[in-house]
Chain A
């Protein structure tokens, strides 16, 4: 079965989403945008949908149909239709059944057919994005839509060649996107402030349904009104500064519209913004520039009337449902205008809690529709099977350091292997200590278990290769195995309860790790420096033995002093001092290495006259010695 897509068929913009690889994802349209203007046009017999239709609206107003959602499933005689009719530049007539007919080109079509054209484009774009044919969809409608409007929306889907599996309410979709369908017996408010309409809905989540308890709104209140207020303010400011009225200059107005939108967006994240439009117009005295500062406070003052209206509607909705703000457990923000800090603050103030706004408010309805589609398809069951490891899994290495193997938030099932070696010469066994947690030092993490792999062949430190594998299956069961690559000997442990830590405990462990991060890093660095010092002393001692009298006494003496210095430093706790001693010894070692290599070349040259075979063996033996 192909993917069931979710469609938010909006008044001004529409969006499509689908659950892709277990994650609800917005599908971009052919133009590369995440939303598509709900506009259809016919021009020279060609049908245009979306942004392309929008761009030619000015030259083709009679055949560019927008806001068809305001008309779908309604009768021509409805009061709303009669009111909207005068605002729409295209022609509406009554159908024989009392419905609405829209003149488009040389035809008369129903609003559902316009919606179908939009759905068709959304379907086609989703198909090219997902690479396969799409047959089924979930479409959202406002909670206040009546049966006729729902039926007409479903018809629109059918005309577009979609099997509409379900029509769901927009606020319900928003709740699904946040996974609130799993909340039992809770009341949720969805506050939807879009471009052209405002809706507030109260939902009740019961054991198997999400019910709309009440919905209120204003079909002619939205973000576009905010933009218009900013434009009006700019025009009046410019007039008082320059004495020029821009309201009749359509090119300037176009620029003001963009500038107003941009200013509004910027004021969502900063307290003040500059509206800077040089050469906005010219008069007899030369070019005129528009430079204004708009503060967030000023914007809030300009649109306070609209915010107040939305809040009054919200309070009315609560009163009618006989609920107090405190009865509401969750508030969800939908629609681009809810990005405005003032609106977020007012909603928080009204309900006494932070509203949910993590999911992009322009996309949350389509996301929820996609989630509903996945539920119908049975995909969500699969999604739940996939878990992540909440904490990092690793093992203890030399000096009590924790070495991570599987990082936290890795999706299971997963498997990771890494090769380790011995810390001392002739070590015949290694202990594998399995750890869980985010701290740098082994002792600060939770111990999950330990085992010993023995029977390693005696060898210098660092030579044996022990491969340690961590494997977590889909049920969260961790298996750790260690294998000696030389002998093939293997030992393993199975840890059942690795993810059996409570959510609280996980949070505590993460918080502790963050709190101790700097201190842990220092400790780890100290241990690593000491390990390095040990290794350096070991190498130096070995070199000292091998070089015998091949270097002069002075060089040898300095070298011995450096070794002694590092040994002294290593005994103390001053990391910086140890580091310095390591660096100095390392430099001395390098020098001696160079000298011995020179000498070897000379010896080789001299020995060339003697038996060649012997010489090669001797040379290679020396190479091994100085290279360790």
Chain B
């Protein structure tokens, strides 16, 4: 009886020791991971804040590209252009940088191909950036939307 219960106790002790060691190891791993996790979390937050601004920046860009010729030199137009720049500056202040790539090689890590067109020169080259992309550090918030030469 005593021997049996002793064995039982030893088995239990080993099981608990293993469980405790695993819990300790996991705690260490979590601590280690926390640092990288925090950096990622910051990037995620920036992304959340920046995302709604991207659309505004896009549309300002479209508006600027379509200024009617008769008001190009107007002071009011100039003011609107300043607002457009404020949006870009707000993004820069958040640590968001623009991805362009016109004339460069298409890289799916940074760009998203929306169309392929026959063009002079080498294939696989960005012939038009339809919509610029944005990144925070290594995190791509949105790839640049591009047309690629065939």
Q: Which A residues are within 8 Å of any B CB, using their own CB?
A: 20-21, 28, 31-32, 43, 48, 52-59, 129-132, 250-251, 254, 278-279, 282, 286-287, 382, 385
Contacts and interface: CB of A to CB of B under 8 A. Distances in A.
A58 B116 contact: yes
Interface stretch (B3-11, B24-32, B71-79, B82-90): B24-32
B141 to A, nearest CB: 10
B62 A278 contact: yes
11 contacts: A21-B26, A55-B108, A56-B106, A58-B114, A130-B29, A131-B32, A251-B114, A251-B115, A254-B145, A279-B63, A287-B66
A268 B124 CA distance: 40
Contacts of A385: 19
A350 B139 CA distance: 44
A382 B148 CA distance: 54
A265 B65 CA distance: 30
A97 B63 CA distance: 59
Nearest to A251: B130
Contact of B66 (A53, A58, A279): A279
B98 interface: no
B68 interface: yes
Given A28-B40, A251-B130, A59 B66 contact: no
Given A32-B40, A59-B113, A286-B68, A131 B29 contact: yes
B33 interface: yes
Given A52-B109, A131-B29, A382 B143 contact: no
A385 B66 CA distance: 66
A125 to B, nearest CB: 13
Contact of A250 (B111, B115, B143): B115
A129 B30 CA distance: 11
B113 A286 contact: no
Contacts of A279: 59, 62-63, 65-66
Contact of A131 (B33, B43, B66, B130): B33
B104 to A, nearest CB: 14
Nearest to B23: A382
Contacts of A21: 26-27, 30
Given A20-B26, A32-B44, A254-B114, 6 more contacts: A21-B26, A32-B43, A32-B139, A131-B33, A286-B66, A382-B22
Contacts of B30: 20-21
Nearest to A128: B36
B33 A278 contact: no
Nearest to B64: A279
A385 B33 CA distance: 24
A43 B108 contact: yes
A59 B65 CA distance: 27
B38 to A, nearest CB: 14
A526 B145 CA distance: 64
A340 B66 CA distance: 38
Contact of B115 (A54, A58, A282): A58
B114 A31 contact: no
A55 to B, nearest CB: 4
Contacts of B111: 55
Contacts, number: 71
Contacts of B57: none
Interface in B103-128: 106, 108-109, 111-116, 124
A55 B44 contact: no
A131 B37 CA distance: 12
Contacts of A53: 108
Contacts of B66: 279, 282, 286-287
B91 to A, nearest CB: 18
A346 B43 CA distance: 39
B62 A250 contact: no
A282 B68 CA distance: 12
B53 to A, nearest CB: 15
Given A279-B62, A286-B68, A52 B108 contact: yes
B112 A55 contact: yes
The 6 closest A-B pairs by CB, nearest first: A279-B62, A55-B112, A56-B108, A55-B108, A58-B113, A59-B113
Contacts of B43: 32
Nearest to A44: B124
A58 B146 CA distance: 11
A53 B130 CA distance: 20
A627 to B, nearest CB: 44
A59 B40 contact: no
Contacts of B44: 32
Contacts of A31: 139-140
B34 to A, nearest CB: 11
A23 B29 CA distance: 14
A48 B140 contact: no
Given A32-B44, A382-B19, A56 B29 contact: no
Contacts of B112: 54-56
B139 A278 contact: no
B59 to A, nearest CB: 5
Contacts of A254: 114, 130, 145
B28 to A, nearest CB: 10
Contacts of A287: 62, 66
Contacts of A250: 114-115
Contacts of A59: 106, 113, 116, 124, 148, 150
Nearest to A381: B19
Contacts of B33: 129-131
Given A32-B40, A254-B114, A279-B62, A55 B32 contact: no
Contacts of A52: 108-109
Nearest to B40: A32
A410 B95 CA distance: 38
B40 to A, nearest CB: 6
A13 to B, nearest CB: 17
